[in-house]
Amino acid sequence: MIKLKKKIIVIGGGGFTHQSDKDLDDFVINQSAKKNKKIGFLATASKDDKTKINLFYKRFENKNLELSHFNLTSNDVGFSQWVFDKDIIYIGGGNTAYMLELWKKYNLISIFKEAYEKGIILSGVSAGGVCWFDWIFSDSLGPIYKPLKGINLISGSCTPHSSERHRMSQYQLEIQNSKLPPGVAIDDGVAVLFINGIAKEVYSTRKNSDAYFVDNNNKVSLKEYIK
């Protein structure tokens, strides 16, 4: 029996919502082998920002894809049916804590987990990428970075935007002080493909940008770590 490949793509920063690094979007799309792909966009973390939603449709309008979005800030009626009809779910960035609280309020986390088990590809940038981990290093709870509980589809911790030096140094310090478990830091312009919870590929669109495995003692290129 062939084991189902359950995929999550985590983008540190960039892509259509940032109007940069278009190849990151293509990397996500290409993870599905289906001919007529159905892609759903969630802009929950930005409170369903219309600009980001419009950028989604503009980016993919000529790609022979079936596109739709769901405004969770309005209501959750029909959400499970919408999710299970998709091949790829893409989640935009914004306030991670706000997004996760809304998911909890509507009891949506189990829906995402079921979609993952069914082989629906989960993807996202920044808040929409790190939400899948056990723990997130986030500034969405206030002006300083703090650990935030994720939804437990990928073990360990994660920070996006690790090309920001201060963020990266703080993330390493949290791990060294055992306030966060070891994890993955992802630069802007970089996507990491996880299959069945394991990092399998690092895709970068920017020179000298990378993703890293960070533990108590080391920060190593994730490309080298997963070889």
Cα separation, 74 vs 123, in Å, equals 22
The pLDDT score that the predictor gives to residue 141 is 86
Q: Which CATH architecture has domain 7-225?
A: 3-Layer(aba) Sandwich (3.40)
The pLDDT score that the predictor gives to residue 1 is 60
Q: What is the DSSP string of 36-95?
A: S-EEEEE-GGGTS-HHHHHHHHHHHTTSS-EEEE--TTT--TTHHHHHHT-SEEEE--S-
The pLDDT score that the predictor gives to residue 103 is 97
pTM reported for the whole predicted model: 0.96
The pLDDT score that the predictor gives to residue 227 is 73
Which positions ≥6 away from 73 have C-beta within 8 Å? 44, 47, 48, 102
Angle at 225 between CA 92 and CA 218, to 5 degrees: 90
Cα separation, 140 vs 105, in Å, equals 18
Rounded to a whole number of angstroms, the distance between the first and last alpha carbons of the chain is: 26
pLDDT tens for each residue of 156-176: 999 999 999 999 999 999 999
Which residues in the chain land under pLDDT 50? none
Pair 215, 177: CB distance under 8 Å: no
Secondary structure element (H or E) that encloses residue 212, with its range:
strand 211-214
Q: Which residues are marked as active site?
A: 126, 161
Which positions ≥6 away from 116 have C-beta within 8 Å? 6, 8, 122, 153
Helices of type H across 7-95: 22-29, 50-60, 79-84
